[in-house]
Amino acid sequence: MTMNHQFTSEDRKRIRNGIQQKYTKVARSPEGNFRYPTGRAGLEAQKYNHEFLRVLPEDVLSSYCGVGNPFRLGPIDEGNAVLDIGCGTGVNSIIAAMIAGPTGRVVGIDMVSEMLEKAKQNLSKTSLNNIEFHEYSAEELPFPDKSFDVVISNGVFNLIPDKLKALSEVYRVLKTNGKIMIADQILTDESPSDIKSMVDKWAG
Amino acid sequence: MDFLTLVEEAGFADAEMVAETGFNSSPITKGVLFRAVKSEQVIIKKEKTKEASPSALPAASMTDEPPQGKIEYLTKKALELGADRAKIISTNTVVVEEWVRWKCQYGCSMYAKDSFHPPLAPDTESTKKVLSEYSTALLINGHKGKLLTDIALRLEGEAYHIGYYKAFALTSLSSSALTSLSSAPGAT
């Protein structure tokens, strides 16, 4: 994951456009867009609970695209309020809503409208009514302080230009003793030293 | 600045990279799992330790608080009960392999002595299967074997009472309270 850098508003626009283009394509089908498994195979490889894989419709599972399983990082309790940052097609939000139960609630946010459309389609194939999906930025969360018990995210923080701002927002909206559980990608090599190369890579 | 430092800078306590996922999006990246807690209690404790050494703090002040930060509570409890170290880990980082049983069978004086050791202890496949039903474990370390078992059993009870109903202590030795029971439950 590359860290915080001084991007101009033009840099940020390019990054955002690049991400939107790529993930609009992913919203249609994640297959073939990543080196790691997606869909049901990805969920199984990342050891998602078999019970969810058994009950969720196959076309919901096939839209899954994530780099890891944030649910392995700790429990979500019944009645919890959960925020899913970069919810994509909503598979993690749906699983979180099943765990939190009817007394809990889940809010999934994403910057790519096609992803949110797919998430809403996926939700309509379930009987859950404790999830909302919104087009919001992680860098400016429109929620009151201490709104959530758990924040989850899967493969999204690496795409956020101002990670400290996003993390500070997560901290603000979490209740005391609330937790953040993130699956993501980090760089094992040095990121490009100049901003232009970095933006090219990010947006590409 | 690495990601964990940013997480801490945002105010979180106990930020940690728990495990690698094994899935990489490119040759120069790796998938990882991060976790952190918004714990005002931990921040208060750190401020206190500037004024007094940890050993000068009354033990009760570390755990006589509502078990809201459940995992932190259990970690602190483990240390208070006598563990040298305690750490939350992901169960997918626990390696379970057959060779351990061979090591025990050929060379360990405890082989076939009780149900905490092979061949009576759960086998490799069964252990793997049960571990896969859990996401998180509290790993405790210490130099007194029996005491460690007693701590693990006490923590299992504490965990159950604060809502972790599946909590189960995996120990290498029987408890001092169970040594007379030949059918005592246990694990490798």
B96 within a domain of the structure (yes/no)? yes
| pLDDT tens-digit readout, A63-92 | 998 899 999 998 999 999 999 999 999 999
| Beta-strand relationship, B29-37 and B13-20 | antiparallel
| pLDDT tens-digit readout, B88-126 | 888 888 888 888 888 888 888 888 887 778 888 888 898
In chain A, the residue whose alpha carbon lies closest to the alpha carbon of B70 is: A177
User: Is the model's pLDDT at B182 over the cut of 80?
Assistant: no
In chain B, the residue whose alpha carbon lies closest to the alpha carbon of A32 is: B25
Contact present, A126 and A96 (Cβ < 8 Å)? no
Band (A48; pLDDT cuts 50, 70, 90): very high
B38 within a domain of the structure (yes/no)? no
Domain that holds residue B139: 68-188
Contact present, B49 and B76 (Cβ < 8 Å)? no
Domain boundaries along the sequence of chain A: 9-186
Q: What is the mean pLDDT of residues B126-149?
A: 86
> CA A145 to CA A197: how far, in whole Å?
37
Do B10 and A164 lie within an 8 Å CB cutoff?
yes
> CA A50 to CA A184: how far, in whole Å?
22
Question: Which residues in chain A have their CB less than 8 angstroms from residue B130's CB?
Answer: none
How far apart are the CA of B125 and the nearest CA of chain A, in angstroms? 16
Contact present, A150 and A181 (Cβ < 8 Å)? yes
Domain count for chain B: 1
β-strand partners of B67: none
Complex ipTM value: 0.82
Q: What is the CATH number of domain A9-186?
A: 3.40.50.150
Interface A-B, measured as beta-carbon pairs within 8 A, has a size of: 137
B11 within a domain of the structure (yes/no)? no
Do A189 and B28 lie within an 8 Å CB cutoff?
yes
What is the dihedral angle through the alpha carbons of A132, A137, A138, A139, rounded to the nearest 10 degrees?
-150
Do B23 and A182 lie within an 8 Å CB cutoff?
no
B7 within a domain of the structure (yes/no)? no
Do B136 and A45 lie within an 8 Å CB cutoff?
no
Question: Which residues in chain B have their CB less than 8 angstroms from residue A179's CB?
Answer: 35-38
